[in-house]
Amino acid sequence: MFTDHGFENTTVAQIAREAGITERTYFRYYNSKAALLGSLFESQKRSLQAELDTAPSGLPMMDALRHAVIAGIQYPELDNPEQRMLVNLLASEPALNAVATDYLAAWEHIISEFAGKRLGQPATSLYCVVVGRTTLAACRAAFEEWAAHPDDTLASYLDSALIALARGFGSSSTT
């Protein structure tokens, strides 16, 4: 509905009607239209955390992050046109961009915490924050490229971006 009618032009009443619920029921679960999309991110966040919590200790940190990110978003429904539209919508709608930014900040924190545990440093140390932010930046770039180019899977884009990050961009990529 947001893609068809625009985020601002879609009302909670329309969303509720389409879902077969009342507006009152809608507001029991979500405090805004944007919060509806934010809820979609929660399962991915939990999955990422679970993957990092069970990452083998002998696996290099960036390899563990790459595997966890890819496994954390491995839902077959993510590789479809509607998900691509959602990624584009999140990037283009200011109110939704704020929701995505909050979600991605949580991902960044999870990754920085993981880096801190692996490196024996506080998650707030510069190095751990850089690991979190650069990993997140690589993931955002992969999501945006995937949304714009339906030629491959999201996992493939994430894999390429995170391999490049782990290598430190020392050599040119063929992808």
Which of 158, 122, 162 has the alpha carbon at shortest distance from 44?
158
User: Does residue 92 register a pLDDT over 80?
Assistant: no
Question: What pLDDT shows up at residue 17?
Answer: 94
Q: For residue range 2-47, what is the model confidence (pLDDT) as tens digits?
A: 777 878 888 999 999 999 999 999 999 888 887 877 777 777 888 8
Q: Please state the pTM of the whole predicted model.
A: 0.78
Domains along the sequence of the chain with CATH: 1-31 (1.10.10.60), 34-167 (1.10.357.10)
Nearest 5°: the CA angle 69, 70, 74 is 120
Read off the pLDDT band of 77 (50, 70, 90). Answer: low
CA pseudo-torsion sign 134, 140, 142, 148: negative
Kind plus residue range of the DSSP H or E element containing 72: helix 61-72
Which of 144, 142, 137, 45 has the alpha carbon at shortest distance from 89?
144
Q: For residue range 42-52, what is the model confidence (pLDDT) as tens digits?
A: 778 888 999 99
CA torsion angle for 126, 132, 134, 137 (degrees, to 10)? -140
As a whole number, the mean pLDDT across the chain is 85
User: Does residue 171 register a pLDDT over 60?
Assistant: no
CA 124 to chain centre: 21
Q: For residue range 106-163, what is the model confidence (pLDDT) as tens digits?
A: 889 999 999 999 999 999 999 999 999 999 999 989 988 888 887 888 889 999 999 9
User: Does residue 169 register a pLDDT over 90?
Assistant: no
Rounded to whole angstroms, what are the CA distances from 142 to 8, 47, 156?
A: 27, 18, 9
